[in-house]
Chains A and B, each alone.
Chain A
Amino acid sequence: MKTPAPDIFRFSAVLSVAALALTGCGGADDAASADEEAGDDGAAAPEASGELSVWVDSDRADVLAEAAADFEADTGITVNLVQQDFAEVRDQFVSQVPTGEGPDIAVGAHDWLGVLVTNGVVAPVELGDAAEDFEDVAIEAWTYDGQVYGVPYSIENIALLRNADLVNEAPGSFDEMIELGETSGATYPFLVGLDAQTADPYHLYPFQMSFGAPVFGQNSDGSYNAEELTIGNEGGIEFAEWLADQGEAGTLSTNIDGDLARENFIDGESPFLLTGPWNVPAAEEAGINLAVDPIPAAGEEDAQPFAGVQGFFLSAQSENTLAATTFLVDYVGSPEIQQSLYEVGGRAPALTEAFDAAMADDEIVAGFGAVGAEAVPMPAIPEMGAVWDYWGASQAAIINGEGDPAQLWEQMAEDIAEATE
């Protein structure tokens, strides 16, 4: 997910799902037929019969159909693909699994894990030695509370898009980037989309990281420790002051939202745009000579962005765990399927073998992938909603010069600590 999910959809989804679940019209016959099949004792049959139900979004449905066909040919188990809107999957899954009408497997983003695990609807998947075949950040992202909960397939993160016709070298630091941007003669030296009310902690995170202020401390296995809030440390204060300076200098403006930033970049009004792969097609269509650079640091340390890792996960109420795990680990996790998933999604694959192939294949993906391999996973704790909320509002206030940056930042750290308790 590129930004914290819009909750209004969640709100309405929950209501409608609750209504459907109780009236019992949501695919009741599927569940019944699956039960029959499971009870059916076909010991004499040469091959197994059975069904798996998988929720997948429309983009990935065709690739999964390939994997499903292979799986059926090898094992005799039919895989029923049910198309769902990606953004709806999380809440549908949470409300459907307890009713017994959820799928065995669903597609999703790793930052849903907090909610899925706290609701007890997702089961761990033991990847075993296969875990080493994936990029580290992908496995770290899908690890929650010491357990791996899914088979990742793609890594999504932001990087610096550069209009190579305006500036022909990658900047080494934030200040250098602004300098390059200014000498290029474009209207804006650098663009990043910020919301007037909530700024954008996700897009600004690499700069925050470069001041050495991650939001939470990390455990040795890469997972976040929500009890160790590091956002309010000295680096955080420095970052807040930097934000206020940039706001005053006009290099960051909350009046330029994501759409305006993209439009201006496409029109050649700025040589740099900090964004994710979702804006690449529009820029390519407009004929911009694109280059993807690492994000320049504003502070002393590396400017690591958040990574969102997509994957497939297993229902805690699945009655076909054995078949589902086999399908996940041996089919979805296979290089061919990972490669196909990369071809439809355009995001760097999570499996190292496919990742390396993609890096050699496409410069844009290689640019994002190189940044993504160094990225830190987006925290997945269920309280993130509250964290984004305080974080964004305070950033907007600081950029707009509404008070002492250090004081506002400390207040925010306190509010977040209270919300995540």
Chain B
Amino acid sequence: MADGSTTSRPVRETSRRRARRQKQASTLIEATSSGWKLMLFKIVVLSLLCATAVYAALVLFMIERWLVGSLVIIGAAALTWIYLKRGVLPAKYLAPGLVFLLIFQIFVVLYSGYVAFTNYGTGHNSTKDHAIQAIMLQSQDRVPDSPTYQVSVLEEAGELLTTDQLYLAVVSADDEILIGSAEQPLEPTDQATVEDGRVVAAEGFEVLEFHQLLERQTEITDLSVAISEDPNDGYLRTQDGQRAYVYTSRYIYDEAADTMTSSETGTVYRDTGEGAFIAEDGDQLLPGWRINVGMDNFVRAVTEESIRGPLIYVTLWTFAFAFLSVATTFALGLFLAMVFNDKRMTSRKYYRLVMILPYAFPGFLSALVWAGMMNQEFGFLNNVLFGGAAIPWLTDPWLAKISILIVNLWLGFPYMFLVCTGALQSIPEELSEAAQVDGAKPFQAFRSIKLPLLLTALAPLLISSFAFNFNNFNLVYMLTGGGPRDVSAGVSVGSTDILISMVYKVAFVGAQADYGLASAFSILIFIIVGTISVVAFRRTKALEELN
């Protein structure tokens, strides 16, 4: 073919243009980098940045976030270095993007990776200390029908021999004044003055005022004063420094042995390394805490009953959905692109504009509108287009699959139309003319000349479109919610659920949130999509070489 002369012309032209542009750019950089205004601007911005970073780091160090604090300092130092040093032009351009990439992508990916190896989820939300504290708080039962005591908080008075120990003073039902502390059960005393049922003064003690209470809040709310020598009688506690109640605790924490003991049954709950206190019969006390569980989540992802059953079916449908979505949108987009690329078509501009509209509406909204249009009884499709037929668009397992592909076609073809139009316009018209001169029919010319060239240019986009549709959670969630479901099957997975929506259901809708398992699943999905993309890219490289 005589394409030597046809293709070399644009190539030479672009290389000349590129050289010109490069020269322009370098003069621009020189002109600006030597200017004092720019230098001043740089210094102002960088000093603001450093000031903010130092402040943020100080705050972080104060709350003992050593790692994050140091990262802030290192980041700010690196940015300052990059922008003050002469040269390092690529870094100057890339740095802002890299910062955002680190925060919004790399960090999120690494964090998901980390979570995948923990038991993070409902009931395993924080540290062991927090869990123990929460269990102790939750297990305090007020003794039924016990009275409300007007309580006063006291501390020892006098200059000498004072400790910071706090005392609670109450007036009992038979007008006896009782004082006690954490170490000493309530004991009657008559050396105190009572007003309106509340102790206002006591010999040897000072009654704390409200503002003094506030300064020692944690001490006061942590204070338990035993009612008597017998611990089973319960203890007095106050939450607001005004009223006290008698409680008993359902669990007793033994710090030395690291066990929780039920005071009702005597069952001992131990920390067996599974992130919760667990009794011998397997009963666990929640809240537990976060621990590393190694590969457990990955093992569960493939072995857990509720997931394993539908997994194969859902995986197959996910592949079919992603593949068919790409194929149908590409076919329609390409067809329309060719039609509107034809010079004989008049007012193409306006048609093109209209074509892009579905792409301009938010996908969320479109999916919801389509769900309404596909309503079996009142939907636009059945009522207007099909003359009142009762077609179960979204409630029949097979029709729902077709519906979801139709809606995705509507949402996805403008993108394909755009990229195909672009790619088609970059293929020189002379190629098809030459083919026609050589006697090829239009379809033949398209198939053996334009399509291969198009595919080489578009293959990466098709692969990324596949990856996008593989995880097209929004559409599934908004249109069908994964349904319809076979309710007799006993699983919560529906016939249009794809992997990511199934993961969402298993990890979030199902019994309890399980971020560890969900993260493990995301990693597995990432591996699947990643492998497919790498293989596909390899093959497109081969395609390029063929051409």
Contact B488 A408 (CB under 8 A): yes
Q: Measured between C-beta atoms, what is the minimum distance from B212 to chain A in Å? A: 7
How far apart are the CA atoms of A257 and B210 in the complex, in Å?
Answer: 55
Q: Which residue of B lies closest to A144 (CB)?
A: B138
Contact B510 A386 (CB under 8 A): yes
Contact A322 B217 (CB under 8 A): yes
How far apart are the CA atoms of A28 and B484 in the complex, in Å?
Answer: 46
Contact of B510 among A255, A385, A402 (CB under 8 A): A385
Contact B239 A325 (CB under 8 A): yes
B240 at the interface (CB under 8 A from A): yes
Contact of B215 among A32, A43, A317 (CB under 8 A): A43
A215 at the interface (CB under 8 A from B): no
Contact of A197 among B221, B243, B480 (CB under 8 A): B480
Contact B221 A414 (CB under 8 A): no
Contact A98 B125 (CB under 8 A): yes
Contact B134 A24 (CB under 8 A): no
B339 at the interface (CB under 8 A from A): no
Q: Measured between C-beta atoms, what is the minimum distance from A350 to chain B in Å? A: 20
Q: Which of A47, A319, A322, A390 has the most CB of B within 10 A?
A: A322
Contact B137 A322 (CB under 8 A): no
Q: Which residue of A lies closest to B289 (CB)?
A: A120
Chain B 504-519 per-residue mask, 1 if CB under 8 angstroms from chain A, else 0: 1100111111010000
Of A14-22, A55-63, A158-166, A361-369, the one touching chain B: A14-22
Contact B138 A117 (CB under 8 A): yes
Q: Measured between C-beta atoms, what is the minimum distance from B100 to chain A in Å? A: 12
B60 at the interface (CB under 8 A from A): yes
How far apart are the CA atoms of A266 and B242 in the complex, in Å?
Answer: 52
Q: Which of B239, B243, B492 has the most CB of A within 10 A?
A: B239
Contact A18 B111 (CB under 8 A): yes
How far apart are the CA atoms of A121 and B211 in the complex, in Å?
Answer: 27
Q: Which residue of B lies closest to A316 (CB)?
A: B134
Interface of A, helix, strand, loop or mixed by DSSP = helix
How far apart are the CA atoms of A103 and B510 in the complex, in Å?
Answer: 28
A378 at the interface (CB under 8 A from B): no
B19 at the interface (CB under 8 A from A): no
A157 at the interface (CB under 8 A from B): no
Given contacts A7-B508, A411-B488, contact A316 B240 (CB under 8 A): no
How far apart are the CA atoms of A128 and B394 in the complex, in Å?
Answer: 53
How far apart are the CA atoms of A377 and B213 in the complex, in Å?
Answer: 36
Q: Measured between C-beta atoms, what is the minimum distance from B238 to chain A in Å? A: 8
Contact of B508 among A11, A24, A196, A255 (CB under 8 A): A11
Contact of B487 among A23, A48, A397 (CB under 8 A): A397
Which B220-250 residues have C-beta < 8 A from chain A? 220-221, 239-243, 245
Contact A390 B492 (CB under 8 A): yes
Of B191-199, B251-259, B370-378, the one touching chain A: B370-378
B103 at the interface (CB under 8 A from A): yes
The tally of residues in B whose CB lies under 8 Å from a CB in A reads 74
Of B36-44, B61-69, B167-175, B446-454, the one touching chain A: B61-69
How far apart are the CA atoms of A125 and B148 in the complex, in Å?
Answer: 14
Q: Which of B63, B111, B123, B133 has the most CB of A within 10 A?
A: B63
How far apart are the CA atoms of A125 and B137 in the complex, in Å?
Answer: 10
A176 at the interface (CB under 8 A from B): no
A289 at the interface (CB under 8 A from B): no
Contact B240 A385 (CB under 8 A): no
A329 at the interface (CB under 8 A from B): yes
Contact of B395 among A115, A121, A400 (CB under 8 A): A400
**Which residues of chain B come closer than 8 Å to A179, judged between CB atoms?**
none
Contact A386 B509 (CB under 8 A): yes
Given contacts A98-B127, A321-B221, contact A120 B287 (CB under 8 A): yes
Q: Which residue of B lies closest to A328 (CB)?
A: B240
Q: Measured between C-beta atoms, what is the minimum distance from A107 to chain B in Å? A: 20
**Which residues of chain A come closer than 8 Å to B220, judged between CB atoms?**
322
Q: Which residue of A lies closest to B247 (CB)?
A: A126
Which A1-48 residues have C-beta < 8 A from chain B? 7-8, 10-11, 14-15, 18-19, 22-25, 28-29, 31-32, 35, 41-43, 45-48
Contact of A317 among B107, B130, B394 (CB under 8 A): B130
Contact B63 A414 (CB under 8 A): no
Q: Measured between C-beta atoms, what is the minimum distance from B498 to chain A in Å? A: 15
Q: Which residue of A lies closest to B504 (CB)?
A: A11
Contact A255 B376 (CB under 8 A): yes
Contact of A412 among B60, B107, B240, B487 (CB under 8 A): B487
Can you pick out 11 interface pairs between chain A and chain B where the beta carbons lie within 8 Å of each other?
A43-B215, A48-B210, A77-B214, A196-B483, A260-B375, A322-B239, A385-B510, A385-B512, A400-B395, A403-B488, A407-B488
Which residues of B are interface residues toward A (Cβ below 8 A)? 56, 59-60, 62-63, 65, 68-69, 103-104, 107-108, 111, 115, 122-123, 125-127, 130-131, 133-135, 137-138, 140-142, 148, 210-215, 217-218, 220-221, 239-243, 245, 286-287, 375-378, 394-395, 477, 480-481, 483-485, 487-488, 490, 492, 494, 504-505, 508-513, 515
Closest 5 CB pairs of A and B: A120-B134, A48-B211, A120-B287, A98-B126, A197-B483
